[in-house]
Amino acid sequence: MNFKALTHVVAQNVKRSKKSFLMSGFGIIVGISTFVFFLGLGEGVRNVVLGEIFLVDQVEVVPKRFDTGFTVFSGGRTLDDTVVEELNGIEGVESVFPKMKFTFPTRGYGGKKLFGRQIWAEIIADGLDPALVEKDLSDPSVFQDWEATQTCSEDAACPAGRRCTNGQCTKMTCQYREQTYLGDCPGESYCAADTKRCEMPIPVIASNHLLELYNGSLATALGGAKGGAKMLKLSKATVIGFQLNLTLGKSFLGRAAKSKPLTRRVKLVGFSDKAIMVGMTMPLAYVRRFNQRFAGDDAAKTYHSIVLKVDDQTRVPEVVQAVKEGGFDLADSTENAERAANIIRTVESVFALISLVIVGIAAVNISQMFFMIIYQRKREIGVLRAVGASRNDVRFLIMGEAALIGVVGGTFGVLAGYGGSRLIDYLATHLPEFPYKPESFFAFPPWIWVAGVGIAVLFCVIGAFFPADTAARQDPSVALTQ
Angstrom distance (rounded) from CA 319 to CA 11: 55
Q: Which of 174-183, 269-278, 437-446 has the highest mean pLDDT?
A: 269-278
From CA 33, how far away is CA 25, in angstroms rounded?
12
- The DSSP secondary structure of 391-456, one letter per residue, reads HHHHHHHHHHHHHHHHHHHHHHHHHHHHHHHHHHHHHHTTSPP-TT--S-S----HHHHHHHHHHH
Distances (CA, A) of 306 to 64, 84, 86, 165, 270: 13, 7, 11, 38, 22
In this predicted structure, the answer to whether residue 73 has a pLDDT above a threshold of 80 is no
Tell me the pLDDT band of 57, cut-offs 50, 70 and 90.
low
Calculate what percentage of the chain has a pLDDT beyond 70.
Answer: 80
Q: For 108-122, 295-309, 427-441, which range has the lowest pLDDT when averaged over its residues?
A: 427-441
pLDDT tens-digit readout, 218-242: 666 555 554 445 566 778 888 899 9
Average pLDDT over all residues of the chain: 81
Residue type (1 letter), 36: V
- 17 vs 259, more confident: 259
In the 3-class helix/strand/coil scheme, how is 37-98 assigned residue by residue? HHHHHHHHHHHHHHHHHCCCCEEEEEECEEECCCCEEECCCCCCHHHHHHHHCCCCEEEEEE
Measured distance CA(398)–CA(407) in Å, rounded = 15
The 10 Å CB-count burial string (b at 16+, else e) for 239-249 is eeebbbbbbbb
CA dist., res. 127 & res. 66, Å (int)? 26
- Residue 221 pLDDT: 59
Give the separation between CA 213 and CA 262, rounded to whole angstroms.
Answer: 30
Nearest to 134 by CA among 81, 56, 203: 203
- Which of residues 341 and 366 earns the better pLDDT score? 366
How much is the pLDDT for 377?
73
Residue pair 245/181 in contact by the 8 Å Cβ criterion: yes
pLDDT category, 403, cuts 50, 70, 90?
Answer: confident
pLDDT in tens, 375-387: 777 777 777 777 7
pLDDT score, position 220: 60
> What is the CB-side half-sphere exposure of residue 217 using CA atoms within 13 A?
6
Position 434, amino acid: F
Q: Higher-confidence residue: 317 or 436?
A: 317
Q: Using only C-alpha atoms, what is the Rg of the chain?
A: 33
Q: Is pLDDT at 435 greater than 60 in this prediction?
A: no
| pLDDT 10s digits, 161-198 | 899 998 999 999 888 776 544 557 888 898 888 888 89
* Poorest-pLDDT segment among 232-241, 314-323, 327-336: 327-336
d(CA 380, CA 124): 82
Residue 327 pLDDT class (50, 70, 90 cuts): confident
CA of 127: how far to CAs of 227, 275, 307, in Å? 36, 9, 12
Sign of the C-alpha dihedral computed for residues 10, 13, 19 and 23 taken in this order: negative
Mean pLDDT score, 256-272 = 91
Q: Using a CB cutoff of 8 Å and minimum separation of 24, what contacts does 219-227 make?
A: 222/115
pLDDT at 67: 63
Residues 199-224 have a mean pLDDT of 77
**Per-residue confidence (pLDDT) for residue 19, from 0 to 100:** 65
pLDDT score of 59 = 84
pLDDT on residue 5: 59
> Higher confidence at residue 301 or residue 469?
301
Q: How far is CA 246 from CA 85, 206, 376, in A?
A: 33, 15, 87
- Residue 226: the pLDDT is 46
In tens, the pLDDT along 136-151 reads: 898 999 999 999 888 8
Question: What's the pLDDT band for 51 if we cut at 50, 70, 90?
Answer: low
- What mean pLDDT do residues 99-115 have? 88
Q: Which percentage of the chain shows pLDDT scores above 90?
A: 26
Give me the pLDDT at residue 380, please: 73
Check whether 264 has a pLDDT greater than 90. yes
Compute the distance between CA of residue 235 and CA of residue 433 in angstroms, rounded to an integer.
13
Q: What average pLDDT does the segment 356-381 reach?
A: 77
